[in-house]
Amino acid sequence: MTQNLFAMVTEDPIESNIKHLKMNLFMMLTQRIRQNGWTQVVAAKELKITQPRMSNLFKGKLEKFSIDALLEMVVRSGYDFDVDVDSTNKASPLSFQLKKRKK
């Protein structure tokens, strides 16, 4: 069984992968915001977005966010983004990790 639930509701692999990535970034962000004890107002300030935009995030309106915007918020929340490209690896040519930034 696939870990990408969106693959079960759409036959378009691009759409399912984008939705899957957005959902994972959303879950990471909201978890990080809760761990920090941030209100929506504080989170918006820390992540440099408006409070209405933060409200959209908390309501799960992921169609209003690009992957770029979500990644930027993840980095602003205290993570570093590490990307590795290996064109010789046909099974997994691209991999990335999010690592908590050291203070």
pLDDT of residue 1: 42
Residue 100 lies in a domain: no
Residue 83 lies in a domain: no
Q: Could you give the CA distance from residue 83 to residue 15 in angstroms, rounded to a whole number? A: 22
pLDDT tens-place string over residues 62-87: 999 999 999 999 999 998 888 888 88
DSSP letters along 63-102, please?
Answer: GG--HHHHHHHHHHTTEEEEEEE-TT-SS-SEEEEEEEPP
Count structural domains, the chain. Answer: 1
Q: What is the CATH number of the domain that holds 32?
A: 1.10.260.40
Q: Which residues span the domain enclosing 40?
A: 5-78
Residue 57 lies in a domain: yes
Asked whether the beta carbons of 22 and 56 are under 8 A apart, the reply is: no
Residue 27 lies in a domain: yes
- Note the pTM of the prediction, 2 decimals: 0.78
